[in-house]
Amino acid sequence: MIARPDHLTVRPNPTTAVSMDPLSDVLSAVRLTGSLFLSGRFTAPWCIVVKITPDECARHLPGLPAQIIGYHVVVEGRMLVGVNSEPPVEVSAGEIVVFPQNDPHILADQRGVRPISASELIQRSPDGGLSQMVHGGGGVATRIVCGFLASEDSYNPLFSTLPKALKIDVRRAASREWIEASVRFAANELAEGRIASSSVIARLSESLLTEAVRQYASTLSEEDVGWLKGVKDPHIGRALALIHHKLGAPWSAEALAREVALSRSAFVERFSSLVGMPPIRYLTFWRLQSAKLNLRETRKTIAQLAYSVGYESEEAFSRAFKREFGVSPARWREMHASE
């Protein structure tokens, strides 16, 4: 019997030494859950249209996610991946493709094959384990494993700036040996009808997302804008790191500008153009994200949480929280108590 896939939870670790790395801080501040959910075997010729739906994810989660990041690991063979009208990208065994906005996409062994909806081919496991998909004309085989990461938040300033598809070249990864070993381990477990251990899948999923973002960031040109461009900017990158390391500090635009050796006006203009929002709006957004995470995962009082993320009073914090999420902190905690 195939066990139900385990969930991935990415959360801050208060005992971890602080590093000036805003990318890691942003990823750790977002509560992502996820799972492997499908194993596919295709033989040439083949072509499918894929869209990972919230309902499919809900088979492995407590509720419907607001945001989904899909990914495919090619275990054997190769495939072409196309998103909208963009040129297809070839992904080979040992490589991974990630879809930050979960756009519908086409997987195929070659161009010109009529696509079939993947939803028509899925054979779901009755016990909640991995679904299966077998399709094709009997030629050269390609085998993939599909997974997702999900968030209850519909917007994230990092994910919203990423392209529709990111291919990870594991050979360039800082943790190449570990990723390769984990992919092989998961593939072998699946071949034996088992799900790999939750700790391995959790670390693998987190590593794949982080590596995809890092490799994409290294390709940005001077003309590009967006959150990742802000991270690479010597002034704005330091400001982002300061904000994420000290969310509760009494930051102002003037104080942050002084820390990065810019005038207030130059700092606000540069920050807004690169990150997509003014620095204090960005600070407020992540203070409230951090508070929401702690409401669910700690027993701190509302007043303690308000102080920890930089609010001088519980009332001011509650007003800001309700403006952002539509309910008070106490009500939000009640709604998510079972999780």
18-28 per-position pLDDT tens digit: 345 667 666 66
What is the distance, to the nearest Å, from the Cα of residue 131 to the centroid of all Cα atoms in its chain?
22
CA dihedral 34, 163, 225, 280 (to 10 degrees): -30
According to the model, what pLDDT value does residue 281 have? 94
Percent of the chain with pLDDT over 90: 40
- The mean pLDDT value for 30-42 works out to 79
Beta strands in the chain (DSSP E): 33-43, 47-50, 67-76, 78-82, 89-92, 96-99, 105-108, 116-117, 131-136, 141-151, 166-168
In the sheet that 105-108 helps form, which strands lie side by side, from edge to edge?
89-92, 78-82, 105-108, 47-50, 116-117
Q: What is the pLDDT of residues 201-243, one digit of tens each?
A: 656 666 777 777 877 877 777 666 677 888 878 899 889 988 9
Per-position b or e across 135-148, b if 16+ CB within 10 A of its CB: ebeeeeebbbbbbb
CB 251 within 8 A of CB 243: yes
pLDDT over 60 at 171, yes or no: yes
CB 202 within 8 A of CB 86: no
Helices (H), 218-301: 227-232, 234-245, 253-259, 264-275, 279-297
- 14 band by pLDDT with thresholds 50, 70 and 90: very low
According to the model, what pLDDT value does residue 147 have? 85
- 196 band by pLDDT with thresholds 50, 70 and 90: low
C-alpha span between 24 and 214 (Å, rounded): 10
pLDDT over 70 at 335, yes or no: yes
- The mean pLDDT value for 160-168 works out to 84
C-alpha span between 116 and 108 (Å, rounded): 10
Q: What distance, in Å, lies between the first and last C-alpha atoms of the chain?
A: 27
List the single range of 111-115, 170-174, 298-302 with lowest mean pLDDT.
170-174
- The mean pLDDT value for 129-137 works out to 88
According to the model, what pLDDT value does residue 16 have? 33
* Architecture in CATH for domain 227-335: Orthogonal Bundle (1.10)
- The mean pLDDT value for 92-112 works out to 92
C-alpha span between 157 and 22 (Å, rounded): 12
CB atoms within 10 A of CB 221: 6
CA dihedral 277, 283, 289, 293 (to 10 degrees): 160
User: What residue has token string 């065994």?
Assistant: 93
- 1 band by pLDDT with thresholds 50, 70 and 90: very low
Fold (topology level) of 22-217? Jelly Rolls (2.60.120)
According to the model, what pLDDT value does residue 128 have? 60
CB atoms within 10 A of CB 311: 22
CATH 2.60.120.10 residue ranges in the chain? 22-217
Angle at 25 between CA 22 and CA 28, to 5 degrees: 155
Residue type, 39: S
C-alpha span between 67 and 9 (Å, rounded): 15
CB 193 within 8 A of CB 2: yes
According to the model, what pLDDT value does residue 225 have? 65
- 17 band by pLDDT with thresholds 50, 70 and 90: very low
According to the model, what pLDDT value does residue 158 have? 75
Instruction: State the average pLDDT for the chain.
Output: 81
- The mean pLDDT value for 79-102 works out to 91
Q: Is the pTM of this model over 0.85?
A: no
According to the model, what pLDDT value does residue 192 have? 62
CATH 1.10.10.60 residue ranges in the chain? 227-335
Backbone phi, psi, residue 105, to 5°: -150, 160
Tokens of 213: 């973002």
